């Protein structure tokens, strides 16, 4: 049996978000419990992927090399607590580029579908664009109330599952796992 996929947004879900972008590895700070959540998912046979808009590249605020360093830091910290992120996909485009990968479009999620079934699998986010992308890709949208989640909760359908944070979601998923 293949391990089920769980897809996570990055900023506001795994790490603290900033209106000024996360521009360096030093600015990347994990949300309490998020690294442990990823470890819990990994240790319970879930494949964890990250799908993240990174318009700071398209805006010239930071480079793809800097983003690579930020992701290396994130992955090292996840591995240090016994977790694993199997893959990271990102959209480097400016919001005005009208690309197919920038959330709310489902392009990044469709890329992840190349690694396994994503239909009805969780996509955890904190913004309306995350919820829209999940629905467009036929994933199960999950809202966490970290990052922009509390504000987002006011504007999304009440049928979208909500959790206080990524760890609460991971604990629930592991406890109720139905493959």
- DSSP per position, 87-146: EEEEE-S-GGG--SSSTTSSHHHHHHHTTS--TT-EEEESSHHHHHHHHHTT-EEEEESS
11 is catalytic: yes
Q: Distance (Å, rounded) from C-alpha 101 to C-alpha 8?
A: 15
How many structural domains comprise the chain? 1
Q: Look at residue 1 in the predicted model and tell me its pLDDT.
A: 61
97 is catalytic: no
Task: Output the CA angle 114-34-89, nearest 5 degrees.
Answer: 25
Q: What is the pLDDT of residues 138-164, one digit of tens each?
A: 999 999 999 999 999 999 999 999 999
The CATH number given to whatever domain includes residue 114 is 3.40.50.1000
Containing structural domain, residue 12? 5-175
Q: Distance (Å, rounded) from C-alpha 30 to C-alpha 174?
A: 21
Q: Are 122 and 46 in contact (CB under 8 A)?
A: no
Q: Look at residue 177 in the predicted model and tell me its pLDDT.
A: 79
H or E stretch at 80: helix 64-80
Q: Look at residue 120 in the predicted model and tell me its pLDDT.
A: 95
H or E stretch at 122: strand 122-125
Which segments of the chain have a pLDDT < 50? none
Catalytic one among 9, 17, 130, 165? Answer: 9
């Amino acid at each position: 049996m293949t391990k089920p996929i769980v897809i996570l947004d990055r900023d506001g879900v795994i790490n603290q978000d900033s209106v000024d972008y996360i521009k360096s590895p030093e600015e990347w700070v994990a949300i309490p419990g998020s690294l442990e959540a990823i470890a819990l998912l990994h240790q319970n046979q879930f494949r964890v992927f990250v799908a993240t808009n990174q318009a700071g590249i398209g805006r010239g605020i930071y480079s793809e090399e800097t983003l690579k360093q930020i992701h290396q830091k994130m992955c090292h910290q996840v591995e240090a607590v016994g977790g694993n992120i199997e893959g990271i996909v990102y959209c480097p485009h400016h919001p005005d580029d009208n690309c197919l990968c920038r959330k709310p479009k489902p392009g990044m999620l469709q890329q992840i579908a190349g690694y396994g079934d994503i239909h009805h699998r969780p996509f955890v986010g904190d913004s309306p664009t995350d919820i829209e992308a999940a629905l467009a890709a036929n994933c199960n949208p999950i809202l966490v109330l970290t990052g922009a989640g509390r504000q987002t909760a006011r504007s999304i359908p009440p049928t979208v599952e909500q959790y206080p944070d990524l760890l609460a979601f991971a604990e629930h998923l592991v406890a109720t796992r139905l493959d």
